Amino acid sequence: MIIAGGCYLEVCTVPRWRRLFGSGGRAAAAVGRLSPGTVLHTYAHRTWVPDVVSSLHAFGVTASVRPIDQRISFSYFHPLSPALLEPAEPTAQAPLAVSGDIVLRFGFVEGDAVVEARRAVHDPQTGQAAQAFRANGSRAETLAVVLNQGEAEVATGAAGDDVGAALLAAHRADVVVVKRGCEGARVFRAQGAPADIPAYRSERVFKIGSGDVFSAAFAHHWGERGLEPAAAADLASRHVAHFVDYHALPLPAPAELGAQAPSPPVAGPA
């Protein structure tokens, strides 16, 4: 799999947590075992580049890093609190060019990625009205868009199932997955009725990065393995329950996930 996404410093006060991850770094680490040969395309402060390369190498991931001059971080008081971005307005960088058979593209705070893929998964990662996947020149034969309920409503101004229809049209997508926290997720397709996916029970919740894990797992199961969107989203939800419970990467094989009960955890995928 090819992943385009940010590498940022993450700092949490309670519990104490300080890691160089970001959406791209975490997603790549998440699927390093499931998808050998994964490559991450990202930006990082020039002094962080060796750490990014060596850390992801330990997960079996190759990192292609464009050095930049800013240290970008997200700070949290606790894992369920809003994130504080520093600097508040990062310097805009020239876009990355990314191509591959299966590509997972995240939104960046400092740049962008122009994608060429057979199958692409797009996770805008923004609370603002997200630009459509193809607006920057990206192309994909088959496209899935993954975003949370709040992002979906901001992007479309719609509610209920109208959100899915609006996103399918705006992105010219084949699949849209709307994550709904403890209510699980809803999968929309260009043809057919929506499918509801449960959230799965976890004993503990470390929520930072749960949305990254969902998108990475969905991209693997739908993009690489070719599962139906609802089946891929269900496995992604199970992976999220495992991640927020154990906070461990890389993700295990599906057979190792166990039989989680489909009862909602305290918080589902962001």
Q: How confident is the model over 48-78, as pLDDT tens digits? A: 999 999 999 999 999 999 999 999 999 999 9
Report how far residue 66's alpha carbon sits from residue 61's, in angstroms, rounded to the nearest whole number.
16
What CATH code is assigned to 2-256?
A: 3.40.1190.20
Of residues 161 and 171, more confidence is placed in: 171
Mean pLDDT score, 132-136: 94
Residue 9 near residue 74, CB atoms below 8 Å: yes
Higher pLDDT, 14 or 156: 14
pTM value is: 0.93
Whole-angstrom distance, CA of residue 75 vs CA of residue 87: 11
Residue 257 scores a pLDDT above 90: no
Residue 39 and residue 7: Cα distance in Å, rounded? 13
Residue 235 has pLDDT above 70, yes or no: yes
Asked if 7 contacts 21 with a C-beta cutoff of 8 angstroms, the reply is: yes
Q: What local confidence, expressed as pLDDT, does residue 264 receive? A: 42
User: Which phi and psi angles does 146 have, rounded to 5°?
Assistant: -120, 125
DSSP state of 136: G
CA–CA distances in Å: residue 64 to residues 78, 139, 219:
31, 21, 20
The domain segmentation of the chain, as residue ranges, is 2-256
Instruction: Give residue 270's pLDDT.
Output: 55
pLDDT of residue 261: 57
Residue-level pLDDT at 159: 72
CA gap 240, 197 in Å, rounded: 12
Residues 239 and 153: their CA atoms lie apart, in Å, by: 25
User: 204 or 157: which carries more pLDDT confidence?
Assistant: 204
Dist. CA 111–CA 263, nearest whole Å: 38
| pLDDT tens digits, 116-126 | 999 999 999 87
- Tell me the percentage of the chain whose pLDDT exceeds 70: 94
What are phi and psi for residue 41, nearest 5 degrees? -110, 125
* Alpha carbon distance, N-terminus to C-terminus of the chain: 22
Specify the higher pLDDT residue, 72 or 248: 72
